[in-house]
A and B are shown apart, each in its own frame.
Chain A
Amino acid sequence: MYPIINKDYCKGCNLCVEVCPKRVFEKGMEITHRGYYAAVVKYKEQCTNFKIPNGGKPLCEICWLTCPEHAIEFKED
């Protein structure tokens, strides 16, 4: 289970980069089709939820809770 960023919704505020305690995210350098610099998931294996098996409830949802655009979703492997 790891976070992915939905580029249709992300407005490039980089709050996920600030709040993630494991530094999973990084500022994006490529412009999206909506004209924002969307953040990217750089180190997905550092995420606290990465070791959780399928169907588990996420342990830490601080990026999901903070993201104002609901652009972060958790994806199962």
Chain B
Amino acid sequence: MEFFDFYRKDRWPHQFCPGCGLGTIMNCLYKAFNDLNIDIDKTVFVSGIGCTGRVPGYINADSLHTTHGRAIAFATGIKLSRPDLNVIVISGDGDLFAIGGNHIIHAARRNIDLKVIAVNNANYGLTGGQMAPTTPYNMITTTTPYGQREYPFALAELIAAAGANYVARWTTAHPNQLVKSIKEAMQTKGFSFIEVISQCPVNFGRRNKMGDPVFHLRWIKDHSVPISKMTFDINSPYDIVDLNTKGIYIIGDLVKRNRSPYGEIEKEIEVKGPQE
């Protein structure tokens, strides 16, 4: 599969800002699909609203551009009615976690066979850079000109606690690892979640002295710690979620479980029949 068999060439060049991390994620998505040789005619891409919601419009496959925050709800419906399709949700942090927070938590708890790629750029990039639930502490956005005074969500840890089968966090500064992670998620049964920290130089970086995409990528690279270097000592000054509030991201595979997904639990009950 060539690059422009996967993406629509008539829509290229895409309309994201110069230096946006979404293009890197699109390259990684193509490479993972190309290496695994997945049929894109058997794949549905679902997205919500936001910059990331525009990505499935460029993919040469069936896609849904849904209402704000309800991407997971639509994807659940597709997966339950057509279990033979791969359903991939690509959406941003504002769509999946701000307005659609409960949908994704309960989808992870039910362990529905969805692959979710959440692109976290730490603000509402499309609407002008307002503060989001993922903005790190003390970062400046349009609506927090004196610095953010709330603590952000730790997205990957939240989904890991909710009970997903595969949870990972990578950044756009680690594209090769991200490709491996997408491949792993595609081969995992059950709810697979990948958080990708992405740069938003125009709306987030510009207000935090990182207007050049190169500076923002360097900041992401400096502020990411591999999970193998983390120590889970209870007496240490920072725990894993505290680091996230300071804009330090723990990268790596957080959780690999082997729970049976939502559809298969029903099948098991049908086979066994009622208990006497």
Contact = CB atoms under 8 A, between A and B. Distances in A.
B214 A18 contact: yes
B75 interface: no
Contacts of A14: 19, 212-214
Contacts of B20: 68
B263 interface: no
A11 B13 contact: yes
User: For this complex, into which size category does the number of interface residues on chain B fall?
Assistant: 20 to 34
A66 B24 contact: yes
A62 B28 CA distance: 11
A5 interface: no
Interface string A1-13: 0000000110111
Interface stretch (B59-67, B147-155, B172-180): B172-180
Nearest to B31: A65
A50 interface: no
A68 B22 CA distance: 7
Interface string A35-75: 01000000000000000000000000110111111100000
Contacts of B31: 61, 65
Contacts of B214: 13-15, 17-18
Nearest to B13: A9
Nearest to B21: A68
Contact of A36 (B12, B18, B217): B18
B175 A62 contact: yes
Interface string B14-50: 1010111111101110010000000000000000000
A59 to B, nearest CB: 12
Contacts of A61: 31
Contacts of A15: 19, 213-214, 217
Contacts of A8: 13
Contacts of A66: 24, 27, 172, 175
Contact of B18 (A12, A18, A64, A65): A12
B19 A68 contact: yes
B256 interface: no
Given A15-B19, A68-B20, A70-B3, A9 B213 contact: no
Contacts of B218: 18
Interface of B: 3, 7, 12-14, 16, 18-24, 26-28, 31, 172-173, 175-176, 179, 201, 212-214, 217-218
